[in-house]
Structure 1
Amino acid sequence: MSHDADVVIIGAGPVGLTLGNLLGADGVRVVLLEAGAELVDYPRAVGIDDEALRTMQTIGLVDEVLPHTVPNQKIFMVNGDRAILSEVDPRISEFGWPRRNGFVQPLVDRVLLAGLGRFPNVDVRFGAEVTDSTDDGSAVTVSYRTADGATHQVTATYLVGADGGSSPTRKRLGLTFEGETRATKGLVIDVNNDPIGTPHAVFGGDPKRGYATIRLPHGIRRWEFTLFEGEDEALVEDDAFVFGLLRSHVPDPEALDIIRRRVYTHHARVAGAFRVGRTLLAGDAAHVMPVVGGQGWNSGIRDALNLGWKLSAVVRGLAGDGLLDTYESERFGHVSQMVAISLNMAEEMTSHDEEFARERDRLAAARTAEEREQVRNQAFKPQPHYLDGAVVTAPSPTYKTLPAREVPSTAGTLFPQPRVRTTDACEVLLDHATGQGWRVIMWDNDPTAFLGDEVVAQLARLGGSLVRVVPTTQLPWDRVHTAESVVVVGDDGALKDWFDARPVGAVIVRPDHIIAAECLAQDLEATLRQVFAVAHVAQPAEERGEAVSAGAVAS
């Protein structure tokens, strides 16, 4: 069936833009509809994490994003007397990038929009307000109105609603949005020519009025203040009120170059479903959380990365429609964790209850050195761990070759991304060396020795790669003696340590860098076949005795 597009995306926020870049790179035909005349420029997210930067790397835009970031930005959590309760300062880069970074979202959004210009198959339409969408079981028809009042329609195989927390798409589907909206709101102020000049952020848990002050790139500083119940939102435009808030923070509030100010509401909600038929929700349309945890933007980017490769595989006939069901089964639990953590952090740092604040301070002072280190390394932020979806878990093998150890399976977690050496002696991040798609990675084994021609061909159809990791000392030898179809990378310890810590010699990594399965070398083919099954990977058309047309949904 011929449609105008493979995928229609509603919303040119960070999630819609990221998803458009992921699909565009795979040749998927995308129409992106945005009601506004241009990108939103008001104060928004200020923290980008390591997983999101890895996604920017995946879509080939990380070099353009990095100039708008503050790497390894430290956070001080303080009480009303400015005593330090905790420090968040993770210096870990297991996924290739700093774990915590400040950034200017409007500038990064512009990078994402400009990135879509690389793909003639992606059509971005601003000033396109969606008024309706219908799913007839074989296609989705989206109706929208342009600024001149004219109405238009576009048909697609799938629709993604990335249209924000008030998502009309979610409402049209009749989905619940369970959770809570906090009574207290926040006031955000951004200024040019940072009057403080320090590189870190401070979160002030002052029961008299909670606040945050954050250094952003390009000389910008952000303040966020808790508003009391009964304080009118119109106060955001009252200079006397705003200057009064800032008077205990800067020498001369009246001299500040205020560039943006806005009131926002703390929501903590999750949609009842992320998929209905051929319509899927992503980002704030599917979940919203208080800004204190700094994970709203990043959670949306995780949605886009998880959904992107799955949509691409399905519309290109490489996987069956059932693969899209794993988007909700994987993302729902992790997002719910993030919402709960963000809500707890918001309550801890913005409560007006003096007794609550004293108990919080007491508990912070009683932390052990180990607990303080966990906070420093941001251990409170849960990593994705997908137990139900396109992953295969297996009990640890019990062969005498392996020491008896209780080692949990890593299936469903992110595979690390250290720096490695290529056969031409270049030092690069792992994803650059191996490619961004499916990967079969083995420690010092040639994967072709353990895989039959059929599964190798199937992996190739998916755009996957076979990877042999060897000590760098072996690179000259393996460059000559390993099959030409295998990518050989040299490792000076990080990947060897990863394999040393686990009773496995092979790992299967998905396009979103999630470990689909791990196994011993001899079990590789059987495990890869299991992965193909749970990922609904389609058989080649010639094996089914039929043709798969472009954009068709594989069975």
Structure 2
Amino acid sequence: MAIDNDRHPNDTQFIETDVAIIGAGPVGLMIANILGLQGVRVTLIEKLGEIIDYPRAIGLDDEALRVFQSVGLADELLPHTTPNHWMRFTLRGQCFASIEPRSDEFGWPRRNAFIQPLADGILYQGLNRFAHVDRLLGHNVERFSQDTSGVTIELSDANGARKTARAGYLVGADGGNSFVRRTLNLPFEGRTKPNQWIVIDVRNDPIGSPHVYLHCDAKRPYVSAALPHGIRRFEFMVMPGETEEELSKPHNLAALMRNVVAEPDKVDYIRKRVYTHNARLASTFRVQRILLAGDAAHVMPVWQGQGYNSGIRDASNLGWKLAAVVKGQAHGALLDTYTMERRAHVRSMIHLSEVAGDIFAPTSRLGSWVRDRFVGTFNTLPSLKRYVVEMRFKPMPRYEEGAVLSPARARRDGMLARILDRMGHTAPGRLLGLMSEKRESAIGRMVYGRDPCAATPVGRMFIQPLVRQEDKSIVRFDDAIGNRFAIIGWGADPTFGLTSEARAIWAALGGCFVIAKPDTQMRFHDDVPAGVIAIGDIDGRLKDWFADVPESVVLLRPDRFVAAMCAPQLVSDTVVRLGRQLSMQPVAAPYPQRDAEVPCPMAAGLRSTAAEA
């Protein structure tokens, strides 16, 4: 950040930065960490005097933990998590479904409980690593405007001192009531559930049982969730006529707790808050040089714990793209792929959360009857129960257009598709729509027809097994290759026959080359050229992955999604095509390296003086 008071008289400070982020919640903090690692100048603006210190989100998935790993903060976070945190649905005292996904293909448990204030604090402290990331807490954004070369932001601190910030790009990560989104006048489409819930967080857990329980009580549904460090969360449905003020009174809180804990008058409360479930999605996540992320772009009901995780996915998707554009590696057109890739998946996650809410707390007697009949089928249809229990319904990110080289997705067509469109606002329609999102499923094929992308991993997240490095140490896959583009060949040198043009493109992206081979071969080095990383496949997971795909060379993006696949002899052509897809800039002067003590794998990227496309 640079401050120049001469440009703005009357004691107004002038700030120059590459990216301004409004909102120091988890999404804004994560984007700041990602950009900080890439050497990008960031100014983080937050109206509160400190980051929020009370519990909010309680569920962290494997994808989000992988993003914490990518910014070097997973080890700090782990002491504040409970891995393998199952979600159990109960009805009339019986558990009818326990969601227990036990796979770890991305390197971490799929469901984890965590303490959000501690996680946010770790992200905030992580910014201390970067002299080029500035934090302006207690600063209110009064207005902003953009032109073809940047965004101007007017702000003031708690004492009324005024500042003007000039940024190349602005990220609005300022929550569901986003000032940025409202100023842009973007539609925020969706619905608000009619019923409210009261959230009660307590210390010294009065129950002590692990996991999270969703009690489908007909009179008053409630949630009981065990969290790390002896904290427990309760959520009770607010009934008609009840208010937050009345429910928060000690005798009413004791009444809520009476059927849940042994001593309702001896509960150590942290906070109590009534909230409404919203399911809303912005019409776009980008307006020229201004982008939305997290709750500013989408909000969803809490029932699958995906609000926080979806925001972290936004940060991971947007962070590397912003860095590439700011550093001149790519034209601004690359940022269009952010909305293209993230919005469709967010919509699926909103549907998932709504379906879970429909099952847990139907809003009508008919809904309860349908739910009970649906649950009753579990005993006679074990395959359906496995589908629910193993969390196969969770829509995984799958980018079929954007910053990937993938077959085009077939158009939604046919009578069933049109019926689902009309049923989308109903509970059965949301359930069927969610199940059809998995295009390789039977329902998906009936609705959409054959999926041209089913046979390729392009657009999906790559696995993360343990691998052996050349110094014999064992690490997770991502830690072996760094936060950068990577070309990985199974058992063979991916640089053989690479043209000078392809090498130049990959060098401009700051990419690396990797040979993955059986661990037994790691002591043989003659097959590893200079400048190529060798990793040993310890447990055969990489070999199994490559055995199931049609090509043997994978091109990975910094966010660990597969950008392209090809045969070894087609690497050069694929790199050139991917460069065009990424809207790469021509080579010019190098972007300045900052914070030499912090690894910046993409710092070899080149800044171009060409105008933004």
Asked whether the two chains share a fold, i.e. TM above 0.5, the reply is yes
Structure-2 change in CA distance of 1:406 and 1:308 (3 Å): closer
Equivalence for 2:110: 99
Report whether the alignment pairs 1:332 with 2:343. Answer: yes
- Cα shift at 1:380: 1.6
Structure-2 change in CA distance of 1:110 and 1:551 (3 Å): farther
Give the alignment partner of residue 49 of structure 1, picking from 61, 75, 86. 61
User: Counterpart of 1:449 in 2: which secondary structure?
Assistant: coil
- Give me the whole-angstrom Cα distance separating, in 2, the residues matched to 1:320 and 1:133: 23
Equivalence for 1:471: 518
- Cα shift at 1:422: 1.1
Equivalence for 1:400: none
Q: Which amino acid aligns with 2:89?
A: M
Equivalence for 2:434: none
Q: Which amino acid aligns with 1:197?
A: G
Is the Cα–Cα contact under 8 Å of residues 315 and 552 in structure 1 kept in the other structure? Answer: no
- Cα shift at 1:506: 0.5
Q: Which amino acid aligns with 2:56?
A: R
User: Counterpart of 1:379 in 2: which secondary structure?
Assistant: coil
Gap runs ≥5 in structure 2: 3-14, 409-451, 591-604
User: Counterpart of 1:202 in 2: which secondary structure?
Assistant: strand
Equivalence for 2:79: 67
Give the alignment partner of residue 566 of structure 2, picking from 519, 536, 540. 519
Equivalence for 1:402: none
User: Counterpart of 1:254 in 2: which secondary structure?
Assistant: coil
Equivalence for 1:156: 167
Is the Cα–Cα contact under 8 Å of residues 205 and 357 in structure 1 kept in the other structure? Answer: no
Report whether the alignment pairs 1:347 with 2:352. Answer: no
Give the alignment partner of residue 465 of structure 2, picking from 415, 418, 430. 418
Matches within 5 A, 1:207-286: 207-286=218-297
Q: Percent identity?
A: 45
Equivalence for 1:110: 121
Q: Which amino acid aligns with 1:488?
A: A
Equivalence for 1:7: 19
Is the Cα–Cα contact under 8 Å of residues 98 and 389 in structure 2 kept in the other structure? Answer: yes
Structure-2 change in CA distance of 1:352 and 1:175 (3 Å): closer
Report whether the alignment pairs 1:26 with 2:38. Answer: yes
User: Counterpart of 1:335 in 2: which secondary structure?
Assistant: helix
- Give me the whole-angstrom Cα distance separating, in 2, the residues matched to 1:355 and 1:407: 37
- Give me the whole-angstrom Cα distance separating, in 1, the residues matched to 2:114 and 2:269: 18
Equivalence for 1:78: 90
Gap runs ≥5 in structure 1: 396-404
Is the Cα–Cα contact under 8 Å of residues 400 and 453 in structure 2 kept in the other structure? Answer: no
- Give me the whole-angstrom Cα distance separating, in 2, the residues matched to 1:470 and 1:433: 14
- Give me the whole-angstrom Cα distance separating, in 2, the residues matched to 1:9 and 1:44: 21
- Cα shift at 1:41: 2.2
Structure-2 change in CA distance of 1:358 and 1:141 (3 Å): same
Matches within 5 A, 1:436-455: 436-455=483-502
Q: Which amino acid aligns with 1:386?
A: Y
Q: Provide, for residues 25-77 of structure 1, a one-character-per-residue CA deviation record: whole Å limited to 9, x for no partner.
A: 11100000000011112331000000000000000000011111100011111
Is the Cα–Cα contact under 8 Å of residues 329 and 606 in structure 2 kept in the other structure? Answer: no
Is the Cα–Cα contact under 8 Å of residues 236 and 261 in structure 1 kept in the other structure? Answer: no
Report whether the alignment pairs 1:506 with 2:553. Answer: yes
Equivalence for 2:424: none
Structure-2 change in CA distance of 1:391 and 1:406 (3 Å): closer
- Cα shift at 1:166: 0.3
Is the Cα–Cα contact under 8 Å of residues 74 and 87 in structure 1 kept in the other structure? Answer: yes
- Cα shift at 1:480: 3.6
Q: Provide, for residues 71-124 of structure 1, a one-character-per-residue CA deviation record: whole Å limited to 9, x for no partner.
A: 001111112x12212110111100000000001111100000000111011001
- Cα shift at 1:235: 2.7
Report whether the alignment pairs 1:389 with 2:436. Answer: no
Structure-2 change in CA distance of 1:195 and 1:226 (3 Å): same
- Give me the whole-angstrom Cα distance separating, in 1, the residues matched to 2:576 and 2:504: 12
- Give me the whole-angstrom Cα distance separating, in 2, the residues matched to 1:235 and 1:464: 59
- Cα shift at 1:207: 2.4
- Give me the whole-angstrom Cα distance separating, in 1, the residues matched to 2:93 and 2:575: 55
User: Counterpart of 1:263 in 2: which secondary structure?
Assistant: strand
Is the Cα–Cα contact under 8 Å of residues 487 and 554 in structure 2 kept in the other structure? Answer: yes
User: Counterpart of 1:448 in 2: which secondary structure?
Assistant: coil
- Give me the whole-angstrom Cα distance separating, in 2, the residues matched to 1:238 and 1:118: 45
User: Counterpart of 2:168 in 1: which secondary structure?
Assistant: strand
Report whether the alignment pairs 1:528 with 2:541. Answer: no
- Give me the whole-angstrom Cα distance separating, in 1, the residues matched to 2:407 and 2:557: 17
- Give me the whole-angstrom Cα distance separating, in 2, the residues matched to 1:262 and 1:542: 53
Equivalence for 2:28: 16
Which shows bigger deviation, 364-373 or 218-227? 364-373
Q: Provide, for residues 493-530 of structure 1, a one-character-per-residue CA deviation record: whole Å limited to 9, x for no partner.
A: 10100111111111111001111011111111111211
Q: Which runs of 4+ in 1 moved over 6 A?
A: 550-553
Structure-2 change in CA distance of 1:177 and 1:505 (3 Å): same
User: Counterpart of 2:190 in 1: which secondary structure?
Assistant: strand
- Cα shift at 1:355: 4.0
User: Counterpart of 2:239 in 1: which secondary structure?
Assistant: coil
Structure-2 change in CA distance of 1:551 and 1:168 (3 Å): farther
- Give me the whole-angstrom Cα distance separating, in 1, the residues matched to 2:163 and 2:107: 44
Q: Which amino acid aligns with 1:531?
A: L
TM-align CA RMSD: 1.9
Equivalence for 2:51: 39
Equivalence for 1:378: 391
Q: Which amino acid aligns with 2:230?
A: G
User: Counterpart of 2:565 in 1: which secondary structure?
Assistant: strand
Q: Which amino acid aligns with 2:74?
A: V
- Give me the whole-angstrom Cα distance separating, in 1, the residues matched to 2:609 and 2:200: 46
Is the Cα–Cα contact under 8 Å of residues 113 and 228 in structure 2 kept in the other structure? Answer: yes
Is the Cα–Cα contact under 8 Å of residues 92 and 377 in structure 1 kept in the other structure? Answer: no
Report whether the alignment pairs 1:462 with 2:509. Answer: yes
- Cα shift at 1:125: 0.8
Is the Cα–Cα contact under 8 Å of residues 214 and 224 in structure 2 kept in the other structure? Answer: yes
Is the Cα–Cα contact under 8 Å of residues 203 and 231 in structure 2 kept in the other structure? Answer: yes
User: Counterpart of 1:175 in 2: which secondary structure?
Assistant: coil
User: Counterpart of 2:265 in 1: which secondary structure?
Assistant: helix
- Give me the whole-angstrom Cα distance separating, in 2, the residues matched to 1:361 and 1:450: 62
User: Counterpart of 1:343 in 2: which secondary structure?
Assistant: helix
Q: Which amino acid aligns with 1:135?
A: Q
Equivalence for 1:488: 534
Give the alignment partner of residue 177 of structure 1, picking from 168, 188, 191. 188
Is the Cα–Cα contact under 8 Å of residues 439 and 509 in structure 1 kept in the other structure? Answer: yes
Equivalence for 1:398: none
Which shows bigger deviation, 442-451 or 44-53? 442-451
Report whether the alignment pairs 1:313 with 2:360. Answer: no
Structure-2 change in CA distance of 1:120 and 1:552 (3 Å): farther
User: Counterpart of 1:293 in 2: which secondary structure?
Assistant: coil
Equivalence for 1:401: none
Report whether the alignment pairs 1:196 with 2:221. Answer: no
- Give me the whole-angstrom Cα distance separating, in 2, the residues matched to 1:457 and 1:552: 18
User: Counterpart of 2:353 in 1: which secondary structure?
Assistant: helix
